[in-house]
Amino acid sequence: MITQARFLEEVRMVLTDVSRQLVDRRAGKDGFGTVEELEAIEAELSALEASAVSGSLPPKGQRYLTAAWIVIDSWPLDHGLGPRICRLEDLYQRKLP
């Protein structure tokens, strides 16, 4: 199990890295994830952060992240940010009360 505070910290760390990658893609730097993918992930993680802060997370059976699907379908599995997004989904679905 993970505490809500620790989960929120994880969300914010991943969100910060997604935002950095988005800035890089917009500047034309190579990396994984298109601008559109990163924008969608950033929006989803921002909404997740807001839900965690307000304590309005959905019940466990209704928790998923489209971001993880994007990573699994489109990015190499060894990309540093991809596994972190998938780990975040695991925490969200299974380990967060």
Residue spans of the domains in the chain: they are: 4-95
- Residues above pLDDT 90, as percent of the chain: 86
Query: pLDDT by residue (tens digit) across 52-76?
Result: 999 999 998 999 999 999 999 989 8
Q: How confident is the model at residue 78 (pLDDT cuts 50, 70, 90)?
A: confident
The overall average pLDDT reported for the chain is: 94
The C-alpha atoms of residue 28 and residue 35 are separated, in whole angstroms, by 10
Q: What pLDDT digit, counting tens, does each position of 11-21 carry?
A: 999 999 999 99
Query: Per-residue pLDDT averaged across 24-38, rounded?
Result: 94
